[in-house]
Copies of this chain bind each other. A is one copy, B any other.
Amino acid sequence: MKNSTKLSDAIHILTYIVINQGTDLSSTQIAKSVNSNPVVIRRIMAQLKNEGCLISSNGRANPQLARPADTISLLDIYRAVEEETDFLKIDTKTNPNCNIGRHIQTTLDKYYQQVQESAEKEMNKIKLSDIIKEIQSIQQ
């Protein structure tokens, strides 16, 4: 993981597409809402498409969810847009000639995985539909 806002932006994009169906859904228009650049939006959308979250077609500003919003979890979106999904990063450059430098990595790896699993389990519970509903209810 990292200091990236790609997950937030990806959720933003998907939510935008669902809520604003029928209006202009070009990357330029979405970029205005995210306050970013059309290319950045298309980049994220390409990743979402790759992972089966989004349908879009070349030349047409007509993106759609690839499947129902209650079957798309935060974890799905996270995995789609982040190439490195680990929240905690192990230092892999430690000195292998040292007892601790040599063994710290496998030990930490085990515990870091526990933390990762716990976070991912929680992310899997949260669905895109939850977020969409919440934003729609605020808007009314």
Contact = CB atoms under 8 A, between A and B. Distances in A.
Contact of A5 (B7, B74, B89): B89
A51 interface: no
Interface residues of A, number: 53
A34 B1 CA distance: 22
A15 B104 contact: yes
A130 B101 contact: no
Interface of A: 1-5, 7-9, 11-12, 15-16, 19-20, 32-36, 74, 84, 87-91, 93-95, 98-101, 103-104, 107-108, 110-111, 114-115, 118-119, 121-123, 126, 130-131, 134-135, 138-139
29 contacts: A1-B1, A1-B3, A1-B88, A3-B3, A3-B89, A4-B89, A5-B89, A5-B90, A8-B89, A12-B104, A16-B100, A33-B95, A33-B101, A34-B91, A34-B94, A35-B101, A74-B111, A87-B87, A87-B119, A99-B135, A100-B135, A103-B135, A104-B135, A110-B134, A111-B130, A114-B126, A115-B119, A115-B122, A115-B126
